[in-house]
Structures are given as C-alpha cells and as structure tokens.
C-alpha cells in the first residue's frame, strides 16, 4: 500500500480519537525532530515535521497512536497490523 494512503489513514484515526494533526515546519537550531505527540490545555496534538519524509511521518504517527486504547474503535486492518507490529527498537 502507498505510504501517502497509510499516512492518510493514520491521520483519520488520530482525528477519530480527538487528536489534532498539524503538519508544521519545525526549526530547532541544534537538533532535529520528526515531530511527536503533545498535550496543550488538555487536548492532544500530533505534530508532524513537514520537512520529513512520509515514512518518518508514519513512524511518528504510529508511535503516538500506540499510546491510545483502540479496542473500541474500528481500525482498518492494515493500520491495526502496523500499530501492533511496530517496535521502536
């Protein structure tokens, strides 16, 4: 499956969970970040660095979404497989 489609499915899942997804340019002087999950005023935001590859955005999204309970939400089988099979090691 195309990485752009996978990323789109992950973003849809995040929205279902009430997580805002921002595709932003992250400019940090001495470090690089592909993005990540943060919480602002009680709301979750998934920030994806617009300068990263689609594959890196997928990895950031998977790491963030793995933190949430998904058993009561329909998740496309290909996405559930990615979430369950992804290991950061």
Residue ranges of domains in the chain = 3-85
pLDDT exceeds cutoff 70 at 3 = yes
pLDDT in the model for residue 28? 67
- What pLDDT, in 10s, does the model give residues 11-57? 999 999 999 999 988 776 666 788 999 999 999 999 999 989 999 99
Report d(CA 32, CA 9) in Å as an integer: 25
Three-state secondary-structure class, residue 48: strand
Model confidence at 88, pLDDT cuts 50, 70, 90, reads: low
DSSP strand E in 1-89: where?
20-24, 35-40, 43-49
Report d(CA 41, CA 44) in Å as an integer: 8
Residue 21: which of 44, 42, 39 has the closest Cα?
Answer: 44
Report d(CA 47, CA 18) in Å as an integer: 14
pTM score = 0.88
């Amino acid at each position: 499956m195309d990485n752009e489609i996978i990323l789109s499915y992950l973003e849809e899942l995040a929205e279902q969970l009430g997580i805002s997804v921002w595709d932003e340019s992250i400019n940090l002087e001495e470090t690089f970040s592909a993005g990540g999950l943060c919480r602002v005023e009680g709301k979750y935001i998934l920030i994806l660095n617009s300068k990263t590859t689609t594959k890196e955005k997928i990895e950031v999204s998977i790491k963030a979404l793995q933190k949430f309970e998904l058993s009561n939400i329909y998740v496309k089988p290909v996405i559930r497989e990615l979430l369950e099979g992804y290991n950061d090691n």
